[in-house]
Chains A and B, each alone.
Chain A
């Protein structure tokens, strides 16, 4: 953690203070998790699909170099201009230069977590380019000057009354209007004017096919297509891990993606972009931004298999009860917590600890990433590298000393039992982090050693 920056627990504190909101947030996400369960159970070969997807991704990671070259060659033949960016700065500079070349000062964007990671909007706005996020949830977050709190459901943490207030303030809807259909219709009319007038559109990429040089963008709203098909310049930004080998593999991933994300049988729009429209320019930016480094981390490379469905977030008891913004990272939840330390281990040292290690995330992952194992492994790396929070390091040191000396263990155990039984207020107070949200137990009357000696002796007598 950087000095002065709040960690996950501190950021979650404000969220959990409002118990009613926590219950509602928890319930909303659990409902989506249940929809995922119902959808997955309608496919008898669901587990075979997951296994196949995971093995296709193993093949992708082991041949990524060649697939990237194959994709680049085919995309170029198709008339797509392919760019490469090592980091966020280079990515943003490429986007800006494409726009500048055409003297374009306004762009419409569809959902792309990668450009959020790159802070593209801020970069362009500083250079006089206006950017509008057209996914409704992202649009609401942008109006409210907040990043998305979920990769699939960007404003899942907001109540409709709050959204009504944001629309009233920024778009001039009547005060007090909070009906979702009314608000959505209003945004529809407003954003249609945006789509019609923007000369440039940027989308993310869900899958890029090495064999054909095409890329696939999945949305439910149709915003990626409204932007792309009306623009004269179309830009797609993708992480290099989004490659899949063959077109037929889309059948595997598209069957898994929407069912895992929201329980739908398929996203409403699965758009396959192969060539620019007549008279249109099509650019695609291949972005590394730490992916090649994560590929070299043997224990963590599997995280690059992620297809960004969000299932691990919807099922995570910590995410559901602490809200996505408490993760202080573009990708929140369990998958974000294993991707983030690769980007900046110091800044994100707290995130792998924001988990119960219950394993639910790994169980719902459509590409079978061992998410909870990696969270556990990151904790060890972070402690070893010296990035763990001081309280955790001191606690663990004290624990190690206590457990390595039978005398200190016995003495401290005795002291602990006495404190719990005789002066409970010494531990039941706000200075004890373990007391937060839970009651301290009553101290047992005797130590395990004493109990064992007594009972073992008793058994021996019987023998």
Chain B
């Protein structure tokens, strides 16, 4: 017998009697002021967060906060006149010199500060990891209270890759001292697009 058959046979023989799946429908968050909660949590995990009115304001904000003489790439067509539109077909290694990447999240989670990025929003899988600084635009109305609502919206998900990203890359491996920018971005900025406000 192959290992596959051996393992499956041993598992079948040794597994305990059926135990039902619990209902998780009762798990949900409180939707009161998710923008404020998100902002507070994201700042507490070392992220920068700004409320912006429109994408024109995004352009200005990036120029103010980052070195625009270096390579800045984006997946947002509205910012295509200001920054390099990223190519979905380029070799991922060619993004090694990206200073800032500007992408848009599908949704964000108030309770933990994470944004959800399926690969279509990343442009290329490597982009949010290889850049020195990550900027994510989030529409205020897409912020949900907890991961339960987030997975409710994502559903089974039409993507080959997707990630929750909650803050700049960090490590505390050297004597528990928190250092931002282990391998991924040194900073992460979330711009909450509040077109109503």
A interface vs B, CB < 8 Å? Answer: 28, 31-32, 45, 48-49, 51-52, 55-56, 58-59, 61-65, 68-69, 78, 84-86, 90, 134-137, 140, 153-156, 158-160, 163, 180-181, 183-185, 188, 191-192, 195-196, 211-212, 220-223, 225-226, 228-230, 240, 245, 247-252, 254-255, 262, 264-277, 286, 288, 292-293, 295-296, 298, 301
Contact = CB atoms under 8 A, between A and B. Distances in A.
Interface of B: 2-4, 6-8, 10-22, 24, 26-27, 41, 45, 92-93, 96, 109, 111-114, 124-126, 129-130, 146-148, 150-152, 154-157, 159-177, 179, 181-185
B15 A61 contact: yes
Contacts of A274: 157, 159-162
A222 B19 CA distance: 36
Given A84-B3, A229-B129, A266-B114, A212 B16 contact: no
Contacts of B182: 136, 184, 188, 220-223
A32 to B, nearest CB: 8
Contacts of A222: 129, 169, 182-185
B96 A196 contact: yes
Contact of A292 (B10, B93, B113, B184): B10
Given A222-B183, A270-B164, A265 B177 contact: no
A272 B157 contact: yes
Nearest to B113: A265
Contact of A154 (B165, B173, B176): B173
23 contacts: A32-B176, A86-B3, A136-B182, A153-B172, A180-B177, A185-B181, A192-B96, A192-B183, A221-B184, A222-B184, A240-B7, A240-B11, A247-B156, A251-B27, A251-B151, A266-B112, A268-B167, A270-B166, A274-B159, A274-B161, A275-B161, A295-B15, A296-B14
A163 B157 contact: no
Contacts of A134: 183
Nearest to B47: A268
Given A251-B147, A252-B27, A212 B22 contact: no
Given A68-B8, A250-B147, A272 B173 contact: no
A86 B7 CA distance: 7
Contacts of A298: 16
Contact of A266 (B113, B155, B161): B113
A251 B24 contact: yes
Contacts of B129: 222, 225-226, 229, 269
B181 A188 contact: yes
B190 to A, nearest CB: 13
Contacts of A135: 173
Contact of B161 (A58, A65, A265, A277): A277
B125 A245 contact: no
Contacts of B162: 271-272, 274
B7 A84 contact: yes
Given A225-B184, A255-B147, A180 B179 contact: yes
Contacts of B168: 268
Contacts of A251: 24, 27, 146-148, 150-151
Contact of B173 (A49, A51, A155, A255): A155
Given A62-B19, A288-B10, 18 more contacts: A59-B20, A65-B8, A65-B11, A86-B3, A86-B7, A160-B174, A163-B174, A192-B183, A196-B96, A222-B183, A225-B129, A248-B151, A251-B148, A265-B113, A268-B45, A269-B165, A272-B157, A293-B14
B95 to A, nearest CB: 9
B87 to A, nearest CB: 13
B174 A180 contact: yes
B169 A248 contact: no
Contacts of A267: 166
Nearest to B26: A48
A240 B18 CA distance: 18
A78 B162 CA distance: 14
Listed residue (B130, B154, B167, B173) with the most chain A CB atoms within 10 angstroms of its CB: B173
Contact of A265 (B14, B20, B41, B154): B41
Contacts of B176: 28, 31-32, 153, 156
